[in-house]
Amino acid sequence: MKKRICIVSVMLAMTLGMTACGNVIPDLSAAEMQAVGEYAAITLMKYDEDHQSRLVDLELVAQVEEQRREQAEIQRQEEEEAANQESTGMRPTEDTPVIGVDGVPEGQPLSMEEALNLPEGVTITYREVAVCDSYPEGEENFFSMLATDGNRFLVLKFDLYNGSGQDQSIDILSQGAAFKVTANGNVTRRALTTMLLDDLTIYKGSVAAGSSTETVVVVEVQSSVADNLSSLSLNLNNDSKTYTAQFF
C-alpha cells in the first residue's frame, strides 16, 4: 500500500512539474538549432542497434568539441597576426621558407604519411575533390552537414591503404593536426571538424591488412570559389612537422 501511494505521489509531482514548465519553447539561433539536431541524431543512432552509424561514438564527441574550440582560438590568433603583419608590410612567417646556400629550402620535405605519423606500410593518397551543398549526400544518410547560404563544401577524398601485411590501428584524433585547404591560390580555409567516421582530421580506427578506407577533409568556401576551381592545395601542420601538397 505504501509503495502504491509513493508511486502515485511521484506521478502527481511529475505532472505538476510538467504543468509548471508550460509549453514555451525558447528561441534558438541557427547554430544552436544545428547543435541540438546533431546531438539528437547521434543519441538516436547510438541506441539504434540496427543502424550502422557513420558518426563517431558519443565518448569521442567531447574530444571533438574540445578540438573545435582550440582550432577556433588558433584561427582567431592567426587572423590577428595576419592583420598585424599586413599593417606593417610583413609577410607571414610560415609563407617565408628558409633558403639554403644552394637556393632550395633547407630540410628534406616530409611525406603526408610521415607528417601524420602513420604506421610503417600504411600510405595515404589523394583521389579527388567533390563540390556539394551537403555531406554526406543522398537520402539514405541519417545525418548530413549543410553548407551555409552562399557557400558550398569542398570534400577532398583520400584513400588510406594498409600494405603492411597486418591490421594497423591509426589515431589522428589524438595528434591534433591542423589541416588547411587553399583554393584558387588565395582562398584558404581551415578544415571543418565534423563528427563523421571518415573525417581524416579526427580519424581513429583500424585498417585491415591489404585493404583501404576512404577518408575526407571538408572545408566550406564561397559558392563562387567552389564552382570555379582552378587550383587546390593542402597544408598540414602536426606539431613540428609540416606537409604541403599541390593537387592541381
Cα 246 to Cα 231: distance, rounded to the nearest angstrom: 8
Amino acid at 248: F
Query: pLDDT tens for residues 88-125?
Result: 554 444 444 444 433 434 567 899 999 999 999 999 99
Whole-number pLDDT of residue 137: 81
Whole-number pLDDT of residue 171: 96
Whole-number pLDDT of residue 108: 73
For 215, the 3-state DSSP assignment is: strand
Cα 100 to Cα 103: distance, rounded to the nearest angstrom: 5
Global model pTM greater than 0.95: no
Whole-number pLDDT of residue 193: 87
More confident residue, 9 or 29: 29
Whole-number pLDDT of residue 27: 61
Q: How far is CA 67 from CA 20, 58, 64, 80, 135, in A?
A: 39, 15, 5, 20, 20
Ranked by mean pLDDT, which of 4-18, 131-145, 159-173 comes out on top? 159-173
Query: pLDDT tens for residues 52-94?
Result: 444 455 556 566 666 666 666 776 676 677 666 655 554 444 4
Query: Which residue ranges form the domains of the chain, and what is each CATH number?
Result: 110-246 (2.60.40)
More confident residue, 178 or 95: 178
Is 129:154 a contact under the CB 8 Å cutoff?
yes
Band the pLDDT of 16: cuts 50, 70, 90. Answer: very low
Cite the beta strand spans of 95-173 per DSSP E.
122-132, 134-135, 145-146, 151-162, 168-171
Query: pLDDT tens for residues 215-229?
Result: 999 999 999 999 999
Phi, psi of 41 (to 5 degrees): -65, -45
Average pLDDT, the chain: 77
Cα 180 to Cα 186: distance, rounded to the nearest angstrom: 12
Q: In the chain, pLDDT over 70 holds for what percent of residues?
A: 55
